[in-house]
A and B are shown apart, each in its own frame.
Chain A
Amino acid sequence: MPPKYHIHTSRAENRFQKITKSGVIAWDEGCLKCARCVKKDCVYKVYEKRGIDTRQMLESLDSVCMDCFRCVQGCPNKLIQKGINPSYKELGDHYWTAEIISGLWYQAEAGRIPVSGGGYGGAFSGPGFDAMWTDMSEIVRPTRDGIHGREYISTTVDIGRKVMALEFDQAGALVNDPPPNVEIPQPIIFDLLPWSPPGKGINLAMLEGARSLGTFAIVRQSEFSPEMEEYLPNIVLYVDGNVSDISPKILRKLRLIEIPYGKDSIAAQKKLKEEHPGLVTIIRMELTPDSSGNVSRLIAEGAEAIHLVADEYGLEKSDKPLFIKERMREIHLHLVDKGVRDRITLIAGGGIAMAEHVAKLIICGADMLSVDIPLLVAMECRVCRRCKDGISCPVELETIDHLWGASRIRNLMAGWHNQLLEILGAMGIREVRRLRGEMGRAMFFENLEKDIFSTLGKRG
C-alpha cells in the first residue's frame, strides 16, 4: 500500500485582524475605579494586550476576546457590553456568508476543522447544498483514530480517459496502449479566480500550494510568466490564445492542459496529442442546460476530461439557472444511462465554498472539483469584490508573500481533506472514487418533500 497522504500544517497567522462575530463596547465614563477592575481579571489578558491596527482602525480587543463574558457580568456599573459586530453581518453576500468566510479563515490560519462546541444550531435544510444530507450510517464503526491512524481511506482520483477493458493479441501482448492518466492525491484542483487584485503573489501562492499538495492549479496562457516555469508539473495551462504560441519546451513539462469548449476543441485536442501523447487534455465548458448532450457527444468524439464550470454562486448559465448539484446529477445519470460515464473524468467547479460541498458534489456525479474563491479567502479575502470595481483591496492581497499564502492554502486544504475523510469514514466508504454518483447514500430535500407530501390533497 502506498504511504498515507498526509498534509503537514503549520499555523499561519493573519496579516490583518479578522472581523469577529461580536465586539466589546466598553465605556470609560462612569467608571467607579474599583480597587480590582474586572479588566485586570481577564484570563486571556485581552485588555492588557490591547492595541490598534491603524490600517483598519480596529482594536485587538475583539479578535483576542474568547467570549467568556466574565468582564461583562463582573463590572459593577455595567460599563462593558458585547454586541454583534455589524461588520461581520455585512461580510460576503447571501451565498458566501459570514459563517462560511470566518470558517475558512479559521481553517487557513490553524489548519484545523472548525468545531463550534455547542452543536449545530442552524436550520436542517436550505437552498443549494443545504438541501442534501449524506448517509452517515457507518459513523459508529471507523473511529476517528481509525480514520486518521490505522485505517486507509484513499482520496486519490485520476484525470484522463479510461479503458473499459484491456485487449490482448494472440501472443498475449496488449493491443492498445492505455491512455495517459494523471493521478492526484485529493479530488481538488485550483481554478482560475473570478476576480482578484493584481499582483503575482496570489498566483504564485496558489502554485506553491498546489505543488506542496501534489495537485494542480489552472493558469491562463496569457498570464503565464517565466517565474512560473518551476511549477510546470503542477500547472494546468488554460489555452486562451493559440496553441502554436506555447513553446514546445513548456508543453514537454506539462502534464495537463485545458482548452475552451468549441466546435474545434476535439480537433485541437487531437493536434496536441499528436505532438505530446503523454499530455491529458481537459475541455473547459460553462455549465448550461445543454451540458449533458454536449458532454456525451464529446465522450463519443474522444474527450479525456471535461471541466464544467458554474458561476461563483454555483448557478449554470441560463435564464432559469439550475444549481450545480442538480445539473451534475442530471449529467451523471444521463451518462450512466448511455453507459459511458466511466470513460472520462468530470471536473465540476463554481460555488464550492465548504468542505462538505466537495463530498456532496462528488455524490452528485463529479469525479473531482475545482475550487476558486475559498483559496482567496484563505489568504484573508473578505469577498467584498472591491478589486472587481478597481478599488484597492482592504486586506492588501496584492502585497502578500507567496510562501505565507501557500501555507494558508495548505492549511485550508488539510482541513477540507480531514473533513472529507470524516465523511467517507462515516459513510463506510474506503475511497473517494467510490463515492462518485452514490446518490443512494444521500437524501435530497426536494425528493423527500415530493415523496411525503405529493399525495396530500389529491382525491381518489
Chain B
Amino acid sequence: MDQKGLGITRAILFCRQLDPNQDANRRAIEREMGARIRFFPLPCSGRVDPLYLMRALESGADKVYLITCPEGACRYREGNLRAKKRIAYAKSLIEEIGLEPERFELILTSAGNHKTIDEITRDILAREES
C-alpha cells in the first residue's frame, strides 16, 4: 500500500451482510481516497482471525477497522461475538510488542440503523478528524 504523502492508510474489514449493495456503494469513496483506503468484505465478521489483522498492519495499514453486524443479528448466530473476542486478543498482542492497541478498532453497528458501507466509513473518517 502506498503511503507516501497520502496520510493514514486504513484497512476496513467488514461483514458483507451489513450492506447488500456494498460493492456499488463503496466505489465513490474508493475513487476519492485511492490507495489511502482498502475495503475487505468478509462473508461473516467471525471469519476474521487475529492473524488477518496483524497482516493488514504488516502490509502497510496504520489503522484497521472491523465492522460487524449488530449483536444478535449475525447470520451465523455468533460470528460478531467471536469477532469481538478476536479483536480483543489481537489488541493484547500488539500491545505486548509496544504498538498502540487503538490501531485495531471494532465498530459494532446498531440495530435498526440501516447505513450503507460508505456512510459508515464516512462517519468513521469524520470521527477521526474531529
- A contact set with B: CB distance below 8 Å: 23, 25, 27, 29, 52, 54-57, 81, 83, 85-87, 90, 384, 386, 389-392
Contact = CB atoms under 8 A, between A and B. Distances in A.
B67 interface: no
Given A25-B47, A25-B76, A389 B41 contact: no
B126 to A, nearest CB: 22
Given A57-B42, A81-B76, A87-B16, 11 more contacts: A27-B46, A52-B49, A52-B51, A57-B13, A57-B55, A85-B43, A86-B43, A90-B23, A391-B27, A391-B30, A391-B31
27 contacts: A23-B43, A25-B43, A25-B46, A25-B47, A25-B76, A29-B82, A52-B49, A52-B51, A52-B52, A52-B55, A54-B55, A54-B58, A54-B59, A55-B59, A57-B13, A81-B76, A83-B43, A86-B17, A86-B41, A87-B16, A384-B23, A386-B27, A386-B30, A389-B27, A391-B27, A391-B30, A392-B30
Contacts of A85: 43
A318 B59 CA distance: 49
Interface string B51-89: 110011011000000000000000010000010010000
Nearest to A85: B43
B62 to A, nearest CB: 15
Contacts of A54: 55-56, 58-59
A57 B43 contact: no
A57 B44 contact: no
Interface residues of B, number: 27
Which of A55, A81, A83, A391 has the most chain B CB atoms closer than 10 A to its own CB? A391
Interface string B10-29: 01010011000001000100
B41 A87 contact: yes
Nearest to B32: A391
Contact residues of A: prevailing secondary structure = loop
Nearest to B22: A90
A55 B38 CA distance: 9
Given A52-B51, A386-B27, A391-B27, A57 B34 contact: no
B93 to A, nearest CB: 15
Given A25-B44, A27-B82, A85-B43, A57 B30 contact: no
B35 interface: yes
A386 B46 CA distance: 28
Which of B27, B58, B85 has the most chain A CB atoms closer than 10 A to its own CB? B27
Nearest to A81: B76
A389 B27 CA distance: 8
A56 B40 CA distance: 7
A390 B16 CA distance: 23
